[in-house]
């Protein structure tokens, strides 16, 4: 039996580009939820129960129903296109775990700073961190059910962001909403790192 030309053609295999994206923000803002909502693999979570011993250092005002906290990182993966895979690293939100951020930020293309309008000041430290290290980021306002809604420009003004930094509204529980945020981060980071002519 002979082989025709079409039998010898092998399918084109695309080797995807992999990019590292951080997900940061204050305690209880929804970072673990965001990573879990969009990850196509079972996300790695390093959560521990909140305890009485942590009560003096973990401010749960506004997130009283929170029972666990990330103590190292969250990890997930999403394929945005056949040729583009994102590895998501969620940072812990409390000050006492910030020593991990430098390690997590190593090699990151960009970041999501997740914000809660009920406690907007909680994301200042993450914004400052990425600005100081010149890591491109998008601010994603997690629209909690009982939180007031504000236009993106109002959030930008309240956070004193440069005009070029994207601000998007999202629901960290919804896959499509989170994908929109991640696309915004990648596009912004690619523009920020593109060589200027």
Six-digit token string for 108:
């990151």
Q: pTM here?
A: 0.78
H helix intervals, 50-151: 101-105, 124-132
Question: Which domains does the chain carry?
Answer: 19-193 (3.40.50.300)
- Edge to edge, the sheet with strand 136-142 lists 44-49, 68-81, 84-90, 17-25, 110-115, 136-142, 167-170
Contact 37, 174 (CB under 8 A): yes
pLDDT at residue 45 in the model: 58
Q: Residue 38, Cβ neighbours under 10 Å: how many?
A: 24
- Of the CA atoms within 13 Å of residue 86, those in its CB half-sphere come to 28
Residue 187 has pLDDT above 80, yes or no: yes
Helix, coil or strand: residue 28: coil
Residue 86 has pLDDT above 80, yes or no: yes
122-142 per-residue burial string, b: 16 or more CB within 10 A, e: under 16: bbebbbebbeeeebbbbbbbb
Helix, coil or strand: residue 190: helix
Q: Which residue has the higher pLDDT, 42 or 89?
A: 89
pLDDT in tens, 131-186: 999 999 999 999 988 888 899 999 999 999 999 999 999 999 999 999 999 999 99
């Amino acid at each position: 039996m002979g082989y025709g030309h079409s039998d010898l053609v092998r399918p084109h295999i695309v080797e995807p580009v992999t990019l590292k994206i951080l997900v940061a923000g204050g305690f209880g803002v929804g970072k673990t939820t965001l990573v879990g909502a969009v990850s196509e693999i079972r996300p790695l979570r390093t959560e521990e129960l909140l305890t009485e011993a942590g009560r003096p250092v973990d401010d749960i005002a506004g997130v009283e129903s929170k029972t666990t906290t990330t103590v190292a990182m969250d990890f997930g993966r999403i394929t945005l296109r056949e040729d583009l895979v994102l590895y998501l690293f969620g940072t812990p939100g409390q000050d006492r775990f910030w020593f991990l951020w430098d390690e997590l930020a190593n090699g990151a293309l960009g970041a999501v700073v997740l914000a809660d309008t009920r406690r907007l000041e909680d994301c200042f430290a993450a914004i400052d961190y990425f600005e100081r290290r010149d890591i491109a980021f998008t601010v994603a306002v997690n629209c909690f059910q009982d939180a007031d809604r504000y236009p993106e420009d109002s959030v930008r003004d309240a956070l004193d962001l440069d005009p070029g930094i994207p601000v998007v509204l999202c629901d960290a529980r919804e896959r499509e909403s989170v994908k929109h945020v991640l696309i915004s981060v990648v596009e912004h980071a690619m523009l920020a790192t593109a060589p200027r002519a």
